[in-house]
Structure formats: structure tokens, C-alpha cells
Amino acid sequence: MPYQDAATTERVLAAHTWAVVGLTNHEWRAAYGVAAFLQQQGKRIVPVNPGAEPVHGEQGYAKLADIPFPVDVVDIFRRSEFAGAHVDEAIEIGAKAVWLQLGVIDEAAAARAKDAGLDVVMDTCPKIEWPAYGPTR
């Protein structure tokens, strides 16, 4: 089952509100730079980390269920073995899409998300895909 088709990638990159699971203020982590990139493209980022710390000037939340407004995309920066739980949370909160970052692969979780009607992009990065599929390309 493909998870990087052009139409899905384009649709997800056009979404506005991105909950970034695993985003902290550790500047050396990929999540930090990717979230900054998404903000520069006009996206609203929502940090999701156990300490609920704010990042890039945005309020953090300990878990997806704590976010008090709708989320379009759940962008997962966690190891593959932890991704499935976050995909299930994304389904529960009514997200429109999940994006499993480069190297994050969970076929079963991706299938659950697709079965629930969510768009799924897996094993790539929005910053990498932006030049080809971003709305401002």
C-alpha cells in the first residue's frame, strides 16, 4: 500500500494546523527544524510532548487529547514502535491526516488510519516533500 502518493502528499501539505508529536526545544532534533519550517510556510504548529513545553512561541500539550481545538495533521516524530499509539490518538481526536516522519514506519497503524478515513503519509518529511508538493511551490 503506497503512502507517498502525490495527491495525498499535496492535500496534507495544504492543511493548516499541525500537531507535532515529539516536538521540544531541543534545537538539534529534526522536529525542531521541521516545525520551524512549517511555521515559515504559514502553518500553525502545536507542540505535543510529555512536559507540555511551549516551542516556537506555541503552547505545548502533553497529549493530543489535551489540544482544545481541531487539528488537521498529526506529524509524528517518535520511533516506529511508539507511532501506532499516536496514530490511534489522531483517529480519536478527529484529525484529518497523519504524517509519520522519515524512518518512522508502522504499516498496521497506517492501515488503521486509512480505514478510519485519514490521509496517511509515511517515511518522509514535509520539508523534503515541500518543493514538489507544497501549496507555494
Q: What is the pTM of this model?
A: 0.95
Kindly report, residue by residue over 65-104, the tens digit of the pLDDT. Answer: 999 999 999 999 999 999 999 999 999 999 999 999 999 9
pLDDT tens digit sequence for 98-137: 999 999 999 999 999 999 999 999 999 999 999 999 987 5
If DSSP codes are grouped into helix, strand and coil, which group holds residue 96?
A: coil
26-63 pLDDT per residue, tens: 999 999 999 999 999 999 999 999 999 999 999 999 99
pLDDT value at residue 36:
98
The superfamily in CATH containing domain 6-133 is: NAD(P)-binding Rossmann-like Domain (3.40.50.720)
**76-82, long-range: CB < 8 A, 24+ apart:** 76/21, 76/22, 76/100, 76/101, 76/104, 77/20, 77/21, 77/22, 77/23, 77/29, 77/30, 77/31, 77/34, 77/101, 77/104, 78/21, 78/22, 78/104, 79/104, 80/104, 80/105, 80/106, 81/106
- Does 2 have pLDDT greater than 70? no
Domain boundaries, the chain: 6-133
**What is the reported pLDDT for 1?**
45
Residue 119 bridge partners (DSSP)? 97
Task: Decide if pLDDT at 3 tops 90.
Answer: no
